Homo-oligomer: A and B are copies of this chain.
Amino acid sequence: MMPEKTYTKKGMLIVLSGPSGTGKDTILKKIVSKDQALNLSVSATTRHPREGETNGKDYHFMDEKTFLNMAKDGNFLEYVKYCGNYYGTPLSAIDGLLDKEEDVILEIEIDGGCQVKKRCPESVSIFVVPPSIDVLKQRILNRGISNVNNMEDRLKTAEKELKFAHKYDYIVVNDDLEKCVSNILSIINSERMKSSRVKCITNEVF
């Protein structure tokens, strides 16, 4: 059973999602390098490591039995099955940081993003979209997918996923990478000034 934990008055939980081909990975790396106060949460997965991936840095790699046991014990904030593999956010990876009032950013699939919003309404969710279908097509082609069926599948999936954009708090267009990164940093900066997050100003300031 999922524990009924909430994150009131602690660090800020930021969720970044978007259809594949929108450049989320690159965006995330830039954001974390520019905002030193942000902690990147490392997901757990049952998929095999790709070349160059490091356990504990890119993902916590684990077998299905371990993953499902953790899920049964309520040790994930969210988890989803995607293309035959499980992906999840271990509570242990974020709980300690949020308790210490540190901010944490997660890049997760849209299903997982919607789960997080339900469990933590105070989380800040950001949906990245491509500027147009043509740009998305080009980005998918640049990744080496030339097969027409595969392309059509990817585009259909993207179209379905875009329908979830309005379930997120913010929608950011990735037209120009630097502008997109600066817009997301601006959202995070503003959210830190939300009065619900600023401690009792009358006692602190005066």
Contacts and interface: CB of A to CB of B under 8 A. Distances in A.
- Most chain B CB atoms below 10 A, which of A127, A159, A206: A206
Interface stretch (A2-10, A73-81, A108-116, A184-192): A184-192
Interface residues of A, number: 34
Given A205-B130, A206-B162, A171 B187 contact: no
Copy count, this protein chain: 2
Interface stretch (A36-44, A45-53, A92-100, A195-203): A195-203
A193 B201 contact: no
Given A189-B186, A206-B159, A127 B165 contact: no
A195 B183 contact: no
A7 to B, nearest CB: 19
B133 A206 contact: yes
A189 B182 CA distance: 11
A186 B195 contact: no
Secondary structure at the A interface, as helix, strand, loop or mixed, is mixed
A183 to B, nearest CB: 6
A189 B172 CA distance: 11
A131 B193 contact: no
A189 B163 CA distance: 23
A26 B16 CA distance: 36
Nearest to A160: B202
Given A186-B190, A189-B186, A166 B205 contact: no
A194 interface: yes
A86 interface: no
A127 B171 contact: no
- Most chain B CB atoms below 10 A, which of A132, A159, A165, A168: A165
Given A163-B202, A166-B196, A183-B190, 6 more contacts: A131-B205, A166-B201, A170-B190, A170-B194, A172-B193, A183-B193
